[in-house]
Amino acid sequence: MIGAFPMTVTSVRAPRHGLGVSAAPRKRLSHRKALTIFIGPFLLLYLLFYVIPIGYAIYQSFLTVERVGTFGPATTVFGGFTQYIAVFQASDFWASVLRVLAFGAVQVPVMLGLALLFALLLDSPLLKGKKFFRLAFFAPYAVPGVIAAIMWGFLYSPSLSPFSAVTQNIPFLGADLVLWSIANIVTWVYVGYNMLIIYSALLAIPTEIYEAARIDGASNWAIAWQIKIPLVTPALILTAVFSIIGTLQLLAEPQTLRSFSTAINSTFTPNLAVYTTASVPNYSLAAAFSVVLALSTFVLSFVFLKVTQRRAFA
């Protein structure tokens, strides 16, 4: 009878040196090989074209050129912080930094405001022909900055513009307006790029939120102002950081417009001052300019992120 003989269960353990244990190290090893294959080329290019040039620029910024006598041979020696002292004494360079900061304080909010407006229009259920408008808004970004500056330079020039009745009365290339003429070019080129980032963030918002808001009686304006804009704030912060970095790196547009305007000098923007200094050539001073400019960009972006994060969590 079954009840007369109690049944015992014997646990069976897998051998310690079986296939189940040795497969894990092999799998980890194969994963490491895959990571090396896929990440290795990126790391190599990253080191060759980013880390090493930055390190060499920092090294170059600590060098200086000395001559024995007036016409003696030039020798490159370690100069310590000599180049950095010259940077902080260069009033033209710091004037160009203040100029682009004023440029960014006006241009960046205007550009991001237009990008947000266009993104909201594309996301609106009332807009027809969204594919056409998405392409039309983004198309200027496909134009290289130099080509855009040449095109707008012809439009600004009184003797070349097809709108000579306007350009002869408004000096777009004069000393008072040339900075804002450059701001118009930058806005025209990059508003579509920033719009696409914000529009992608809008598409990631669950539609159930909109449906619940409409059930509660919210209008399209209320949904845009109270739901869409707060939810795409991280995308706005991201585009703002990109724009701050791009503002301090302004080079192509003013360099190209120098052919159309005498109001743009060789130190009009920080990057233009670096380019002019390197063309002398004074590579060590140009490297010091670049290092200080990079640190200033990092500090400004970091402070902006901290301020925006505090307001977001307040």
- CA separation, residue 11 to residues 8, 60, 68 (Å): 10, 70, 89
Parallel, antiparallel, or unpaired: how do β-strands 63-67 and 74-78 relate? antiparallel
Tell me whether residue 71 is in a domain: no
**Whether 44 and 157 share a structural domain:** no
In the Cβ-directed half-sphere of 54, how many Cα atoms lie within 13 Å?
10
Looking at residue 38, what is its pLDDT?
84
Using a cut of 0.75, tell me whether the model's pTM lies above it: yes
Distance (Å, whole) CA 116 – CA 195: 6
State the number of CA atoms in the 13 A half-sphere of 139 facing the CB.
7
Indicate if 9 and 123 belong to the same structural domain.
no
d(CA 238, CA 197): 9
195 within some domain: yes
- Do 50 and 95 have their domain in common? no
- Give buried/exposed letters for 64-91 (b at 16+ CB in 10 A, else e): beeeeeeeeeeeeeebeebbbebbeebe
Q: Same domain, yes or no, for 119 and 214?
A: yes
Domain identity same for 40 and 170: no
Q: Note whether 96 and 25 are same-domain residues.
A: no
Shared domain for 268 and 153, answered yes or no, is yes
Q: How many domains does the chain have?
A: 2
Alpha carbon of residue 59 to chain centroid? 25
Residues 223 and 131 in one domain: yes
Q: What angle do CA 268, 272, 273 make, to 5 degrees?
A: 80
26 falls within a domain = yes
Q: Would residue 70 count as lying in a domain? A: no
User: Which SS3 state, helix, strand or coil, does residue 38 take?
Assistant: helix
Q: Is residue 107 part of a domain?
A: yes
**Containing domain of residue 49, as a range?**
5-61
Backbone conformation region of residue 218, classed left if phi is above 0, alpha if psi is from -120 to 50, else beta: beta
Instruction: Say if 77 falls within a structural domain.
Output: no
**The domain that contains 215 carries what CATH number?**
1.10.3720.10
Same domain assignment for residues 108 and 209? yes
Task: Write down the pLDDT at residue 112.
Answer: 96
Same domain, 112 and 32: no
Does residue 216 form part of some domain? Answer: yes
269/146 same-domain check: yes
Those residues whose C-beta lies under 8 Å from the C-beta of residue 216, and which sit 6 or more positions away, are: none
- Tens digits of pLDDT across the chain (314 residues): 444 444 444 444 545 444 444 555 555 557 778 778 888 888 999 999 999 999 999 999 999 987 776 666 778 888 889 999 999 999 999 999 999 999 999 999 999 999 999 999 999 888 888 889 999 999 999 999 899 999 999 999 988 888 888 988 999 999 999 999 999 999 999 999 999 999 999 999 998 998 898 888 888 889 889 999 999 999 999 999 999 999 999 999 999 999 999 899 999 999 999 999 998 888 999 999 999 999 999 999 999 988 887 776 55
Side chain identity at residue 296, one-letter code: S
| pLDDT given for residue 7 in this prediction | 44
Is there a domain that residue 78 lies in? no
At residue 289, the pLDDT reads 95
**Do 10 and 142 lie in a common domain?**
no
